[in-house]
Structure 1
Amino acid sequence: MYRYNEFDKAFLARRAAQFRDQIERWQSGKLSEAEFLPLRLQNGWYVQRHAPMLRVAVPYGELSSAQLRVLARVAREYDEPHADVYRGALEAQRKLGTVRLPTHQAHFTTRTNVQFNWIPLSKAADVMDLLATVDMHGIQTSGNCIRNISCDERAGVAPDEIADPRPFAEIMRQWTTLHPEFAFLPRKFKIAISGAKEDRAATGWHDVGLRLVRDESGELGFRVSVGGGMGRTPVIGIVLREFLPWRHIMNYIEAVVRVYNQYGRRDNKFKARIKILAKAEGQRFIDEVDDEFRQIVEVDGGPHTIPQAEFDRISTFFVVPPQADACRPSDATAAAALHAASLQTPQLQRWLERNVAPHKDPSMRIVTLSFKRLLQAPGDATADQLERVAELVDRFSAGEARVTHTQNIVLPWVHVDDLQPLWHAASAMQLASTNVHLLTDMISCPGGDFCALANARSLPIAQSIMERYQDLDELNDIGEIDLHISGCINSCGHHHSGHIGILGVDKDGEEWYQVTLGGTDGSARSGDARPGKVIGPSFAAHEVTDAVDAVLQRYLALREHRGERCETFIETVHRVGLEPFKAAADSVRATAEDIA
């Protein structure tokens, strides 16, 4: 992991002190609400439906055990609203059918950040001071700037990796932080980097998506796509460069952003994302970027070219941790013992199959801890759970964890001979759910229970589906499937990329839900990234779970066997089209109308 130096630490301390002064001036009336708004946003502080919300940056998803413990402390000591606010919020939700608004916990987002929903602004400065002690902050987690750069959660450890993307992500993080060219863009701007053959970072869905590749001579570079995004207009990014030498990646991003800054719309925030500009201008946009890049490199001398020495310096932070490099039993001995144990314990065998992935080091594995279970919203982690994860991370993963864009936690440095002890420990902590990549391993935004932008609640829908599908044998028979839920068109729940997507919409003040099918994020399980398509009119809240069930039953009837395995849901959808599933979902609506 990257370690902050004295300059980094001093910068964060000064930034926290500056924010404390800004809060005090706002509280005393020296700063108006309008003046304070951009200042708090620049530090990751929003005001949501019931209370302020803090978004903490987790660059490229990496967390240390020390950072997990501080996040747990923030949740326990600060994530609790004033009693009157909480009671009022509970009463409002009871009227809508929700009886749980949890506090004392964090929420992992699809952008691998961490959010807190109940910290009063009067305590904001204390929280920022505490976060700074472990090199954490909220800088550039909001506003019209380059946001937190995300990566594949298996970066540096995946067997299919071409090159580790984390050094590039860290160099770009430092370069983009408070860069004047990037501070006041027409709209927010998101970058994702993948260094593997499989795109586990959903790069096609980002404003800039970067894939590390090698050319015919073996030279390392980037495949660059621009203009991806979700929201009101789901678009997959267009490839601007099939191969860009790695040293020039920041020069090229500078060219992209300059063109965006010059031509991007600022009069309509719904048309201000770079995807709108790239789609509207087509080849002209590509030509403008190429011209700007040529100017930066040939005329200006390529001021942002990455020197080899700087790349080597940053790369020294991203090596195998000493704790993970200790001498262990032979690979064959450890694997044989584990296999024998799994034959005696079906639960362990299922966990190994579902939650454990290969590692580039044959003596190690990558382990996913799923937080998806009944009475716990997707992405939520209590203060106790965060501390327990920190214990597991210290004991089994060399003090390092990763946040995934599917709202889980990955332990990247687990030795094969530690897998069984890890399973026992995680099971005792109720952190060993074996639903990874299955239906209940769903993605969901906080929705209308918390977010002021939401048109509908996401969490009750997620819980209803979770309650319906508790049988692990049934889930495994259905197979791998991505279910994504968003409470509004902003798509924080990534519903567009779900094999099944659910979008909350408002109809005359009532909550309704559109269902989309066939979306993908670009991973090997799903194929090339593409947006899902809506299947007919929206459903009332009480119909959604039945509609999902009807779609899945139709899939089970239609799927084909492919050798020793069954066709997956997304394969069936792509083969037969949407009509059979639309008819199945429509039958739910028709039945509800008959009953009414």
Structure 2
Amino acid sequence: MYQYNEFDKAFLLNRAAQFRDQIERWQDGRLSEDAFRPLRLQNGWYVQRHAPMLRVAVPYGELSSAQLRVLARVAREYDAPEADVYRQALDAQRKLGTVRLPTHHAHFTTRTNVQFNWIPLAKAADVMDLLATVDMHGIQTSGNCIRNISCDERAGVAPDEIADPRPFAEIMRQWTTLHPEFAFLPRKFKIAITGADDDRAATQWHDVGLRLRRGENGELGFRVTVGGGMGRTPVIGTVLREFLPWQHIMNYIEAVVRVYNQYGRRDNKYKARIKILVKAEGQKYIDEVEEEFRQIVEHDGGPHTIPRGELERVSAYFAQPVADSVARPVDPAARQAIHDAALHNPPFARWLKRNVARHKNPLLCIVTLSFKRLLQAPGDASADQLDHLADLVDSFSAGEARVTHTQNIVLPWVHENDLLALWEAAREVGLASANVNLLTDMIACPGGDFCALANARSLPISQAITERYQDMDELEDIGEVDLHISGCINSCGHHHSGHIGILGVDKDGSEWYQVTLGGSDGSHASGDAQPGKVIGPSFSAHEVPDVIEAVLRTYVERRTHSGSARETFIETVRRIGPEPFKAAAHAVRTPVEVPA
């Protein structure tokens, strides 16, 4: 993992001290609410439906065990609202028929950040001081700036990787942090990067998507897409360069952002994202970027060209750990014990199949730990679970974990010898759900339970579906399905890219849900990135689980088989189209009585 130097550490401590001073001036009236608002947002502090929300940056998804323990401490000691605030929130939920507002929790987001939903602003400075002790902060997790750079959670360890993208992500993180030209853009700006053949970072759905590749002569470079995004207008990114030499990636991003900063809409926030500019201007935008890039390189001398020595320096931080748990040889007795356990223990065998992936080092494995289970919302982790996770990371993954955009945790350095011991330890603390890539491994935003922007709640819908599908044999028979749920059109739950997408909408003050089919994030399992298609009018909350069941039943009835292989859900949807699923879904609608 990258280690902050003395400059980085001093910067974070100074920033925390500045924020403490800003809070104190706001509290005693020397700083107005309007003046304080942009200052708290620049440090990751929002005010949500019931209480403040803190978003902590996790650059390219990497977390150390020490950072996990501090996040656990923040959850345990600070993520609890004042009594009257919590009572009002519960009263609001009771009117909607459910009460589920956990405290002392962290929430992993689809952009690999960590959020807390209940920390009072009066304690915000103490939290930022604590986070700074382990090189964490909320800088540029909000606002119209370049946000946290996300990455493939298997970066540096995946066997299908062309090159490790993390050194580039770290160099770009340093460059974009507090860059004056990137801090006041027309709208927020998100970058994703991968070095693998399989696009696990959903790069085409980002403002800038970067994919490492080799050129004709074997040289390393980037495929650059620009203008992807979800929200009100789902758009797949446009290819600006099929191959850009790696040295110039920051020069090129600067050209992309300069043109956006000059021509992006500032009069209408719904049309301010770069995707709107790229879609409206097309080739003209591309030509403007290429000319700006030429000027930066030829006229300005390419000031942000990455020297090879700098890449090598940063890359050294991301070498394989030398810990004994990683470096030791395979023990034949341990291998036999794992084989025997898989033969006689179906839950362990299922976990090996679902949660364990190949590593570029044949002695090691990539293990995904899922928090997703009954009565626990996707992305949520309690303080105790975070502490348990830190222990597992220390014992089995050389002190390092990764957050995924599917709201799970990856242990990237697990030795083959330790798989059985890891499973047993994870099972004891409730972190051994063997559901990765299955229906209950769904993505969901916090929705209307917490977010002031949401039109409907996401968490009760995710729990209702999870409760209905508890039979692991049934889930395995259905196979891999990406189910994504968003509480509003902003699409924090990535509903557009789900094989099945669920979007909360408001109808005269009531919660309804729109269902889409056929979306994809661009990974091999899902095919080319594309938004799902709506299957008719929206459904009430109590109808949604029946709708999902009807859709999946239609798939099981209509899928084809070829020998032992069978068609996946997304393959069936694309082969037969949405109409059979639409008919099945609307057959379960509850008749509505029309007043006389």
- After superposition, what is the alpha-carbon deviation per residue over 1:205-227, rounded to whole angstroms, capped at 9, x for unaligned? 00000000001110000000000
- Give the Cα–Cα distance (whole angstroms) in 1 for the partners of residues 339 and 103 of structure 2: 41
Query: Residue 272 in 1 paired to residue 283 in 2?
Result: no
Query: Residue 81 in 1 paired to residue 81 in 2?
Result: yes
- After superposition, what is the alpha-carbon deviation per residue over 1:138-185, rounded to whole angstroms, capped at 9, x for unaligned? 000000000000000000000000000000000000000000110000
- Match of 1:88, SS state, is helix
Partner of 2:383: 383
Partner of 1:468: 468
Partner of 1:553: 553
Query: Residue 494 in 1 paired to residue 486 in 2?
Result: no
Partner of 1:240: 240
- After superposition, what is the alpha-carbon deviation per residue over 1:453-496, rounded to whole angstroms, capped at 9, x for unaligned? 00000000001001110000000000000000000000000000
What residue identity is the alignment partner of 1:453?
L
CA contact (8 A) 2:248 2:304 kept: yes
Query: Residue 230 in 1 paired to residue 227 in 2?
Result: no
- Give the Cα–Cα distance (whole angstroms) in 2 for the partners of residues 482 and 17 of structure 1: 43
Partner of 2:321: 321
CA contact (8 A) 1:324 1:413 kept: no
How far off is 1:325 after superposition? Answer: 6.6
- Give the Cα–Cα distance (whole angstroms) in 2 for the partners of residues 593 and 420 of structure 1: 53
- Match of 1:488, SS state, is coil
Aligned residues: 595
Structure 2 gap segments, 5+ residues each: none
Partner of 2:136: 136
- Give the Cα–Cα distance (whole angstroms) in 2 for the partners of residues 258 and 422 of structure 1: 48
After superposition, the Cα gap between the structure-2 partners of 1:340 and 1:254, relative to the gap in structure 1 and judged at 3 Å, is same
How far off is 1:332 after superposition? Answer: 6.5
Query: Residue 358 in 1 paired to residue 367 in 2?
Result: no
- Give the Cα–Cα distance (whole angstroms) in 2 for the partners of residues 553 and 250 of structure 1: 49
CA contact (8 A) 2:330 2:416 kept: no
- Give the Cα–Cα distance (whole angstroms) in 1 for the partners of residues 146 and 563 of structure 2: 46
What residue identity is the alignment partner of 1:308?
R
Query: Residue 396 in 1 paired to residue 387 in 2?
Result: no
After superposition, the Cα gap between the structure-2 partners of 1:274 and 1:543, relative to the gap in structure 1 and judged at 3 Å, is same
The answer to which of 220-229 and 328-337 deviates more is 328-337
What residue identity is the alignment partner of 1:479?
G
Partner of 1:577: 577
Identity of aligned residues (%): 80
Partner of 1:343: 343
Query: Residue 3 in 1 paired to residue 33 in 2?
Result: no
Partner of 1:434: 434
- Give the Cα–Cα distance (whole angstroms) in 1 for the partners of residues 104 and 327 of structure 2: 40
- Match of 1:100, SS state, is coil
How far off is 1:341 after superposition? Answer: 2.2
- Give the Cα–Cα distance (whole angstroms) in 1 for the partners of residues 332 and 282 of structure 2: 54
What are the equivalent positions in structure 2 for 1:23-422 lying under 5 Å apart?
23-323=23-323, 326-330=326-330, 334-422=334-422
After superposition, the Cα gap between the structure-2 partners of 1:364 and 1:301, relative to the gap in structure 1 and judged at 3 Å, is same
- Give the Cα–Cα distance (whole angstroms) in 1 for the partners of residues 593 and 509 of structure 2: 24
How far off is 1:595 after superposition? Answer: 12
CA contact (8 A) 2:325 2:396 kept: no
- Give the Cα–Cα distance (whole angstroms) in 2 for the partners of residues 217 and 466 of structure 1: 50
- Give the Cα–Cα distance (whole angstroms) in 2 for the partners of residues 34 and 324 of structure 1: 54
Runs of 4+ that moved beyond 6 A: none
- Give the Cα–Cα distance (whole angstroms) in 1 for the partners of residues 495 and 549 of structure 2: 17
- Match of 1:296, SS state, is helix
- After superposition, what is the alpha-carbon deviation per residue over 1:234-284, rounded to whole angstroms, capped at 9, x for unaligned? 000010000000000000000000000000000000000000000000000
How far off is 1:346 after superposition? Answer: 1.2
How far off is 1:592 after superposition? Answer: 3.7
After superposition, the Cα gap between the structure-2 partners of 1:268 and 1:114, relative to the gap in structure 1 and judged at 3 Å, is same
How far off is 1:92 after superposition? Answer: 0.7
- Give the Cα–Cα distance (whole angstroms) in 1 for the partners of residues 582 and 421 of structure 2: 46
CA contact (8 A) 2:144 2:184 kept: yes
- Give the Cα–Cα distance (whole angstroms) in 2 for the partners of residues 256 and 239 of structure 1: 12
After superposition, the Cα gap between the structure-2 partners of 1:333 and 1:164, relative to the gap in structure 1 and judged at 3 Å, is farther
- After superposition, what is the alpha-carbon deviation per residue over 1:398-417, rounded to whole angstroms, capped at 9, x for unaligned? 00000000000000000000
- Give the Cα–Cα distance (whole angstroms) in 1 for the partners of residues 290 and 526 of structure 2: 32
How far off is 1:562 after superposition? Answer: 2.7
Query: Residue 453 in 1 paired to residue 456 in 2?
Result: no
- Give the Cα–Cα distance (whole angstroms) in 1 for the partners of residues 556 and 324 of structure 2: 43
Partner of 2:520: 520
The answer to which of 224-233 and 556-565 deviates more is 556-565
CA contact (8 A) 1:331 1:363 kept: no
- Match of 1:317, SS state, is helix
CA contact (8 A) 2:326 2:364 kept: no
- Match of 1:343, SS state, is helix
- Give the Cα–Cα distance (whole angstroms) in 1 for the partners of residues 325 and 488 of structure 2: 46
- Give the Cα–Cα distance (whole angstroms) in 1 for the partners of residues 468 and 113 of structure 2: 29
CA contact (8 A) 1:51 1:118 kept: yes
CA contact (8 A) 1:365 1:416 kept: yes
- Give the Cα–Cα distance (whole angstroms) in 1 for the partners of residues 97 and 367 of structure 2: 36
- After superposition, what is the alpha-carbon deviation per residue over 1:374-433, rounded to whole angstroms, capped at 9, x for unaligned? 111110000000000000000000000000000000000000000000000001111000
- Give the Cα–Cα distance (whole angstroms) in 1 for the partners of residues 257 and 331 of structure 2: 48
- Give the Cα–Cα distance (whole angstroms) in 2 for the partners of residues 592 and 423 of structure 1: 47
- Give the Cα–Cα distance (whole angstroms) in 2 for the partners of residues 335 and 151 of structure 1: 32
CA contact (8 A) 1:375 1:463 kept: yes
How far off is 1:344 after superposition? Answer: 1.7
How far off is 1:328 after superposition? Answer: 2.7
- Match of 2:318, SS state, is coil
- Give the Cα–Cα distance (whole angstroms) in 2 for the partners of residues 112 and 315 of structure 1: 21
- Match of 1:501, SS state, is strand
